[in-house]
Amino acid sequence: MTPMRHLVLLLGLVATGALAQDVDATLDWSQRAALSTPASGIVREIGVSPGQRVEAGALLGQLDDRRAEAELQRSRAQVTRLKLTLEEAEREYQRALELYERTVISERDRQLAEIDLSVAKADYTAARAELTRARVDLEDTRLTAPFAGVVIAVHVTPGETISNELAITPMATLASDRPMLARAWIPESEQAGLRLGQALDVKVGDTRYAGEILALGLEARETDGRFEIVVRFTPSDDGQLRAGQKAAIALP
């Protein structure tokens, strides 16, 4: 092969990225969470299965909410009653002021009307706070997805009683695979030339994905002195990648 043809071939390899170095990597979820609810009670419904994809806000599970619903109705009624009491106390105070200005009642009577108004305001404020708590308690009987992802596991079944007063019982585990992460360990000399946000490709099987560097480790692994590199990429919608799956990162 002539030197000129050798040079042309070399330039072609560089242009196509064939001289990039592939390092072994392992896939990981970008987020993973064991989900539960602060409420305790009987599991009424589990609406998902392992492997199912859900959107953010989707209902994953539901506890028996009859007690919480009843408490919410009681709190609403209490707010309504105390609102009427407060309105009446305000009217009584205005009447007391008018009578006091006309010297029909004493200063003591005016003060008593003012105290009654203050108590009515305090009771109404407390009732509204109880109503807010009742609403939150009812919301806590529902387990919803905090982000879009794939259900990894379901830990409870309908009819099972969970008690979260002392220790939280996970109901489902959710992971986000949009995007995913590829983790690898490389020598310090190779990591030194990289930067956060730099574009790198991730290869899984015969498929290549465009990604970017999310993190560059600052502490060497004790076993071999290598440093971690994490590349973030978004898989295609036609297949399901899994955490722990083997991949490769194409380093420049």
pTM above 0.85, yes or no: no
CA-closest candidate to residue 155, choices 147, 146, 164: 164
Residue 17: pLDDT over 80: no
166 confidence band (pLDDT: 50, 70, 90):
confident
CATH class of domain segment(s) 19-63+146-251: mainly beta
Q: Which one-letter amino acid corresponds to residue 152?
A: I
What CATH code would you report for 66-139? 1.10.287
Residue 204: pLDDT over 60: yes
The pLDDT value given to residue 151: 97
CB atoms within 10 A of CB 157: 8
The pLDDT value given to residue 244: 96
Q: What percent of the chain has pLDDT over 90?
A: 87
DSSP 119-181: HHHHHHHHHHHHHHHHHHHHHTTEEE-SSSEEEEEE---TT-EE--SSS----EEEEEEEEEE
**What ranges do the domains of the chain cover?**
19-63+146-251, 66-139
pLDDT digits (tens, 9 = 90+) for 209-242: 999 999 999 999 999 999 999 999 999 887 789 9
Phi, psi (5° rounding) for residue 220? -75, 145
